[in-house]
């Protein structure tokens, strides 16, 4: 498969040489937490953490203490923590109104002489219309890439965990490229402010700066500075990509990957709500005879799911909305399910949750991303990804081990009737979905949630 064969300049492809022995894949949130803390403790030059949020809980405090300890051991250590501006200044959905994590940042930062800056990144003027969904930590020359944020459940601090993907790549060029992007295109922006300092500006006072920032982000790309590296003879490379808004380079790459497939596509997504462009390419691939496996979380493994015996909140309807989509898709493609050309797998592990994203195309392309492959990711949030090109399958065993570990907790849907229909949902859910559908607000929900 040759990617970008029609117009190689239409997408900024910045391939970086990669050695197979510098790539590791972890399979659990607990091992990810251990590895992250170990890397922070060993850091000597730089630590850049970019996450949707860093929560005021035990795991979040553990990460912050590790950063303060690292800075104390090595005062010249360059540290920056980036989180979403809006998410940091509100409480959890459904919780009482409060100052959010930002109030906690200010408290602990003051106690540690403001040694570790925490920046709030406003991708939009309102959280509903775009957040910082950029993934990837850089610690010295190591890139730790995961869709996970920083809190108890993502880091499996207590009994429950939220399963994600965890990739470690030791590559100086990649690490430099990601840090350069953060410094040049994000931290230099007038819209970006520290959240750990007193007197945070009100969002309304920086609306103009935020709009200019978003416009500039649409043109921002990961770059190399200096001599362009020679690509290895074995073809193993890694490419960082970034995008925000409609028709961005990352969106185009995702669609091109699907369009170029000839044998096999495997997709992970926690929210079954593909954009039209992705659905179109999936349908075309099925017509070409490509075998497709889609691994999605069971509705009870969705992070918005609330058990029926607990007080109902409107946000709890989201997992059911996604399941309605899944059932409709399965019904349409039942012939392909019957022939096993299409395989739908539901992930479930007790009351733990599922947050995996990414794609594997044929045997030589793998996309590691925080992109949910939904309309929101394609239109609103700032997203990025790492594309691995492995034409000689040097990482094939590692990829297969990861997929095997994911599939261990999945069941195969052999018929669409295995998926609950709306009439079987709890009364509050059924009534809310009915009202949404009657006013066509369900379409809006699919686009922004």
pLDDT < 70 positions in the chain: 1-13, 92-98, 225-229, 438-449
pLDDT at 9: 37
Return the closest-CA partner of residue 373 out of 386, 358, 360, 363.
358
Q: Are 193 and 89 in contact (CB under 8 A)?
A: no
Nearest partner of 248 among 389, 377, 386, judged by Cα: 377
Does 127 qualify as catalytic in the annotation?
A: no
Q: Which of 298, 383, 390, 402 is catalytic?
A: 383
**383 catalytic per annotation:** yes
Q: Rounded to an integer, what distance in angstroms lies between the CA atom of residue 408 and that of residue 405?
A: 5
Catalytic residue, from 163, 333, 355, 389: name it: 355
Q: Do the beta carbons of residue 144 and residue 25 sit within 8 Å?
A: no
Q: 249 to each of 12, 33, 119, 240, how far by Cα in Å?
A: 7, 31, 26, 11
Give yes or no: 349 in active site: no
In this predicted structure, what is the pLDDT of residue 101?
96
> Strands, DSSP E only, in 70-165?
78-84, 118-121, 132-133, 137-139, 142-146, 162-163
* Helical ranges in 293-363 per DSSP H: 318-332, 334-338
Which superfamily, per CATH, for 237-448? Endonuclease Chain A (3.30.870.10)
Span(s) in the chain for CATH 3.30.870.10: 21-217, 237-448
Q: pLDDT value at position 228?
A: 57
Catalytic residue among 62, 84, 86, 133: 133
Domain 21-217 maps to which CATH number in 3.30.870.10, 3.40.50.2000, 3.40.50.920, 3.30.420.40?
Answer: 3.30.870.10
Please say if 86 is a catalytic residue: no
Instruction: Please tell me whether the overall predicted TM-score, pTM, comes out greater than 0.85 for this model.
Output: yes
Q: For residues 397 and 63, what is the distance between their CA atoms, to the nearest angstrom?
A: 32
> Phi, psi (5° rounding) for residue 191?
-80, -15
Q: How far apart are the C-alpha atoms of 115 and 71, rounded to whole Å?
A: 7
């Amino acid at each position: 498969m040759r990617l970008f064969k029609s117009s190689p300049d239409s997408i900024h492809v910045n391939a970086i040489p990669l050695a197979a022995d510098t790539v590791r894949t972890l399979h659990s949130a607990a091992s990810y937490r251990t590895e992250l803390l170990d890397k922070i403790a060993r850091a000597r030059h730089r630590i850049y953490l970019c996450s949707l949020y860093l929560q005021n809980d035990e795991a979040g405090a553990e990460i912050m203490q590790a950063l303060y300890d690292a800075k104390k051991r090595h005062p010249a250590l360059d540290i920056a923590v980036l989180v979403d501006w809006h998410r940091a200044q509100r409480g959890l959905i459904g919780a009482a109104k409060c100052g959010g994590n930002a109030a906690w940042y200010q408290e602990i930062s003051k106690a540690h002489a403001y040694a570790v800056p925490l920046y709030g990144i406003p991708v939009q003027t309102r959280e509903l219309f775009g957040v910082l969904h950029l993934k990837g930590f850089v610690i010295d020359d190591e890139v730790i890439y995961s869709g996970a944020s920083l809190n108890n459940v993502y880091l499996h601090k207590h009994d429950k965990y939220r399963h994600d993907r965890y990739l470690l790549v030791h590559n100086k060029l990649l690490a430099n490229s990601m840090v350069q992007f953060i410094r040049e295109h994000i931290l230099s922006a007038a819209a970006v402010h520290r959240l750990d300092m007193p007197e945070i500006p009100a969002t309304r006072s920086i609306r103009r700066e935020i709009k200019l920032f978003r416009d500039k982000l649409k043109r921002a790309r990961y770059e190399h500075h200096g001599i362009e590296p020679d690509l290895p003879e074995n073809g193993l490379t890694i490419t960082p990509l970034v995008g925000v808004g409609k028709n961005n380079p990352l969106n185009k790459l995702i669609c091109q990957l699907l369009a170029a497939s000839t044998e096999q596509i495997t997709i992970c997504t926690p929210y079954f709500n593909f954009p039209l462009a992705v659905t179109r390419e999936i349908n075309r691939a099925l017509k070409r005879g490509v075998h497709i496996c889609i691994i999605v979380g069971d509705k009870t493994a969705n992070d918005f799911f609330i058990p029926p015996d607990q007080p109902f909140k409107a946000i709890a309807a989201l997992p059911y909305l996604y399941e309605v989509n899944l059932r409709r898709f399965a019904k349409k493609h039942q012939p392909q399910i019957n022939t096993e050309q299409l395989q739908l797998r539901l992930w479930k592990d007790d009351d733990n949750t599922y947050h995996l994203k990414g794609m594997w195309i044929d045997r030589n392309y793998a996309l590691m991303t925080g992109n949910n492959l939904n309309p929101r990711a394609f239109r609103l949030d700032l997203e990025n990804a790492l594309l691995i090109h492995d034409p000689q399958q040097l990482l094939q065993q590692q990829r297969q081990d990861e997929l095997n570990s994911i599939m261990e907790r999945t069941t195969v849907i052999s018929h669409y009737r295995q998926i609950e229909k709306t009439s079987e949902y709890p009364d509050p859910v059924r009534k809310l979905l009915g009202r949404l559908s009657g006013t066509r607000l369900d379409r809006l929900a699919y686009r922004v949630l």
